[in-house]
Amino acid sequence: MKPIRIFVHIACEGFCYFATLLENYNIPFELLRIDAGEIPPSQIDDISALVFMGGPMSVNDNIPVLGHCMGGQLISKAVGGKITANPVKEIG
């Protein structure tokens, strides 16, 4: 199984019990310490899932996000949108 990539945004909001659960089920994982300046890899084909831990910051503190094509679908899906097939082919 490919590992799960866990994003840690601040040390006091770690992965504690979640990591223990993964270890108990022999599910591989890797930590990405955003709080320590680690940069996410540009590829995701080497992992099976993404997990984002908490922190005192708010998503309202961040800059606006724009997604093109599948990027827009990913954003929509993340906020509860329904993704369906387009009745006509669309490119661009």
pLDDT tens for 55-74 read: 787 777 777 777 777 778 88
Q: By the 8 A CB rule, do 8 and 31 touch?
A: yes
Domains contained in the chain, number: 1
pTM listed for this prediction: 0.66
Token pair for residue 80? 């509860």
Q: What is the pLDDT of residue 5?
A: 92
Cα(84)–Cα(87) distance, rounded to whole angstroms? 9
The DSSP bridge pattern shows strands 29-33 and 49-52 to be unpaired
Task: State what percent of residues in the chain have pLDDT above 70.
Answer: 97
Residue 87 domain-assigned (yes or no): no
Residue 84 belongs to a domain: no
**Does residue 89 sit within a domain?**
no
pLDDT given for residue 58 in this prediction? 77
DSSP letter assigned to residue 66: -
- Taking residues 40-62, what's their average pLDDT? 85
Domain encompassing residue 22: 4-78
Residue 38 lies in a domain: yes
Whether 83 is in a domain gets the answer no
